[in-house]
Amino acid sequence: MEIQVLSQRSSKKLATVKVPADGTIAQVKQAIERELPKFYPDRQSLKPEPNGKMLKDDISVSTLPEPKVYFKDLGPQIGWSTNCTYYWGCAAFVSYFVNHPKYQGTLYGDMQVYVGLALFIFNELGNFSVHVALRNLRPSGSKVRKIPFPTGNPFTFLFTFVSCPNYTYEIGSWIGFSIMTQSLPALIFTFLGGYQMTVWAIGKHRNYRKEFPQYPKSRKSVIPFII
């Protein structure tokens, strides 16, 4: 079966690929990679029409309304191995300095440790609460997508101000950790992680606004009133 691959933006034909009649979208992505090696499967977004929903990998090509898909490049994706290397590398970097015999501790002693720890725990509880709210947003077995709003859990109030409060809380957690340890490596880790999460949040915020015309205009991506 031949599938035409068209640009989602311009509808220009990019390639024609062949897959089995009972093939899946995952196989279409693999075929596209063979024709256009730069675009590996995780980098591809395929839709049945320009403004349609993204097709999941396990969907059969036989369900397509027409033998064509609209392609969008998602940009370079961070693989799990790269992610693990980053986190383990940073953990080792921070641990070396915090556990070094010459580590001097914090300037304000136990009080600084307790304040940093309290900030870390508060933000971790917020992060967990947001993930639970996002999980409950879509009923089990449903494909319905909804705009996230604050729930009865007070930690979810950040949905009023930002699209990705889970990232806001996670950044806050590592700020707390940096205060608790008074470690430059921890601060560097916080900065790098915060930058990457901000990039992800901006992308998700943009997608929310495209998908939902009624999306709250006052919301920012990750930092209330700023970004």
Please name every residue paired with 73 in a beta bridge, in sequence order, or none if there are none.
Answer: 44
How confident is the model over 176-209, as pLDDT tens digits? 999 999 999 999 999 999 999 999 999 899 989 9
The closest alpha carbon to 54, from 25, 79, 77, belongs to 25
In this structure, are residues 174 and 193 in contact, taking their beta carbons and an 8 Å threshold? Answer: yes
CA angle 108–191–41, rounded 5-degree value:
150
pLDDT score recorded for residue 207: 87
- Average pLDDT in the chain: 92
The closest alpha carbon to 5, from 33, 39, 32, 43, belongs to 32
Is 144's pLDDT higher than 90? Answer: no
Tokens of 189: 């880790």
How confident is the model over 102-124, as pLDDT tens digits? 898 899 999 999 999 999 999 99
State the alpha helices, DSSP H only, in the chain.
25-35, 80-98, 109-137, 165-181, 184-211
